[in-house]
């Protein structure tokens, strides 16, 4: 992107942000609810005695802004099970996502190599992959809880199972579509199987494998929120649900934004690694 294009699109982005904040602000202005036509008793029951208490609506941008500032200025406090800083909650979530994700990579990439290199294995494993792939990862949760008997590890398992398929399928595809020419070169040079796998097939398939990893990471970050809402205790998903139970919409909105920003950061990281292994033919 050239400089002037970047400048113009940034200006439009900024403008859109201002408009969105303004609309948000305008629609969440505290209105004074009218008590006209109510009996005093009913007004009191509704919490509006005295005619004109603010109605509890959605928080405006200023309120949320204050909450963000407050939460971010002290991200690592720990006041017991239901009151931890956002940094700690994110830490729990990221630890679960990363451990589930890398365990899945450990299984999916070697297995993808086997599937990609052997037509027999591809045929043999295909029905299993086709059946297991469309299962919502959360559907595994009860089984995982029953077998593993640990809610946190069960969440890791759910991340594992949802990260597995895109990595497996992309690795197999990448390995299977390595150019015949490069394999012929390796063959005529009498390159051993292991050296061929690491020096020819792996770099040739790396961009496709990384694409699979990037998709997996995106899915894992989507799933962790739902998984933590179910298992509870810690993590950003649990934080959202807990703040909903506290009816603290400020915190819920703050958490939603945080999830978005962290997801974007994870994706950018993989985009960066992807550029490292990309090659131009």
Partner 1 sequence: MDNAFLKIEALAKVFPPARGGQPLTVFENIHFSIDKGEFVCIIGHSGCGKSTILNVLAGLDQASSGTVIMDEREVSGPSLDRGVVFQSHALMPWLSVMKNIEFAVKSRWPDWSRDKVRAHCQKYIDLVHLTGAEHKKPAELSGGMKQRVGIARAFSIQPKMLLMDEPFGALDALTRGVIQDELLNICAETHQTVFMITHDVDEAILLADKIVLMTNGPLAKIAEIVVNTLPRDRSRHDVHKHPHYYRIRNHLVDFLVSRSKDFASNTPAGYDPLHPPFTRPGLEPDADCPPDVDARVRHLRQPAMPAAA
Binding residues for partner 1, rule: CB under 8 A, are 179, 181-182, 184-185, 187-191, 195, 199-200, 203-204, 206, 277, 279-281
Which of residues 203 and 271 has its CB atom nearest to partner 1 in the complex? 203
Nearer to partner 1, 10 or 184 (CB): 184
Closest to partner 1 by CB, 206 or 209: 206
Closer residue to partner 1, CB minimum distance, 97 or 209: 209
Smallest separation, CB 186 to partner 1 (Å): 8
What distance lies between CA 90 and its chain's CA centroid? 11
Rank residues 36 and 181 by Cβ distance to partner 1 and give the closer one. Answer: 181
CB of 276 to partner 1, least distance (A): 11
Cβ 119 to partner 1 shortest distance, Å: 18
Minimum gap (Å) between residue 114 Cβ and partner 1 = 23
Q: Considering beta carbons, is residue 272 or 279 the nearer one to partner 1?
A: 279
Non-local CB neighbours of 173 within 8 Å, separated by 6+ positions: 116, 208
Neighbours of 38 (CB within 10 A): 15
Give CA separation, 75 vs 43, 79, 85, 183, in Å: 40, 12, 4, 52
Rounded Cα distance between 49 and 147, Å, is: 54
SS3 207: helix
Using the minimum distance from each CB to partner 1, give the nearer residue, 184 or 246: 184
| 3-state secondary structure (DSSP) of residue 84 | strand
Three-class DSSP category at 81: coil
Q: Which two tokens stand for residue 101?
A: 């994700």
Q: Considering the complex, what minimum distance in angstroms separates the CB of residue 179 from partner 1?
A: 8
In angstroms, give the least distance from the CB of 203 to partner 1: 5
Q: Cβ 278 to partner 1, closest distance in Å?
A: 9
DSSP assignment string, 33-68: ---TTS-HHHHHHTT-TTT-PBP--PPPHHHHHHHH
Task: State the Cα–Cα distance between residues 102 and 77, nearest whole angstrom.
Answer: 28
Cα–Cα distance for residue pair 240/254, rounded to 1 Å: 9
């Amino acid at each position: 992107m050239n400089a002037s294009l970047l400048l113009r699109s940034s200006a439009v982005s900024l403008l859109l942000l201002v408009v969105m904040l303004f609309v948000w602000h305008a629609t969440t202005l505290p209105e004074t609810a009218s008590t006209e036509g109510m009996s005093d008793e009913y007004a009191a029951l509704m919490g509006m005695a005295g005619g004109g208490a603010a109605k509890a609506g959605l928080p405006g941008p200023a309120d949320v802004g204050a909450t963000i500032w407050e939460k971010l200025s002290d991200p690592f406090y720990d006041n017991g099970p239901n009151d931890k800083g956002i940094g700690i909650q994110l830490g729990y979530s990221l630890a679960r996502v990363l451990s589930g994700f890398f365990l899945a990579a450990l299984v999916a990439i070697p297995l993808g190599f086997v599937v990609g290199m052997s037509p027999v294995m591809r045929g043999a494993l295909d029905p299993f992959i086709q059946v297991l792939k469309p299962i919502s990862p959360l559907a595994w949760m009860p089984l995982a809880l029953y077998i593993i008997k640990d809610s946190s590890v069960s969440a890791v398992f759910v991340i594992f199972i949802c990260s597995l398929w895109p990595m497996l399928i992309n690795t197999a595809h990448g390995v299977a579509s390595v150019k015949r020419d490069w394999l012929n070169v390796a063959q005529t040079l009498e390159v051993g199987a292991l050296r061929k796998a690491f020096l020819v097939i792996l770099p040739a398939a790396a961009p496709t494998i990384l694409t699979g990893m990037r998709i997996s990471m995106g899915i894992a970050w989507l799933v962790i929120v739902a998984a933590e809402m179910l298992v509870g205790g810690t993590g950003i998903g649990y934080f959202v649900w807990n703040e909903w139970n506290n009816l603290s919409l400020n915190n819920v909105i703050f958490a939603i934004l945080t999830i978005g920003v962290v997801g974007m950061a994870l994706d950018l990281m993989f985009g960066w690694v992807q550029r490292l292994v990309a090659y131009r033919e």
